[in-house]
Amino acid sequence: QVQLVESGGGLVQPGGSLRLSCVVSGSIFSMYTMGWYRQAPGKRRELVASISSLGDTISADSVKGRFTISRDNAKNTVSLQMNSLKPEDTAVYYCNAKYLSFDNWGQGTQVTVSS
């Protein structure tokens, strides 16, 4: 069974930085399209950024220039570097792995941006 385990969330002041990581079990990590999603209270889950198996990335307009997604296939890890954080970035962040009909989620990690 494939598992996704996120880490790196926490409380940070506006303008600060956090780095989220997601480690994926299994042997075909390099074939997954990996994504970071977030869900704020009372809102729908939304895509933050994703990275394909070839390394192509897309990002939500709200995070462009501030967040960077990357992957390390040797470590089965996808990361999200978040800079210049804003209060509106507060949410539970989820890691996602997709390949053909496979679509799996991590348990989520809380990010709170507040002074």
Condensed to tens digits (0 to 9), the pLDDT of residues 45-78 reads 999 999 999 999 999 999 999 999 999 999 999 9
What pLDDT sits at residue 26?
Answer: 80
Q: Got the DSSP string for 61-109? A: GGGTTTEEEEEEGGGTEEEEEE-S--GGG-EEEEEEEEETTEEEE---E
Return the structure tokens found at 33: 């399209």
Q: For residue 113, give the H/E element and its range.
A: strand 109-113
What pLDDT sits at residue 27?
Answer: 77
Which residue in 46, 39, 38, 52 sits closest to 98, CA to CA?
52
What pLDDT sits at residue 11?
Answer: 98
CB 80 within 8 A of CB 71: no
Task: Give the model confidence (pLDDT) of 71-108 as tens digits.
Answer: 999 999 999 999 999 999 999 999 999 999 999 999 99
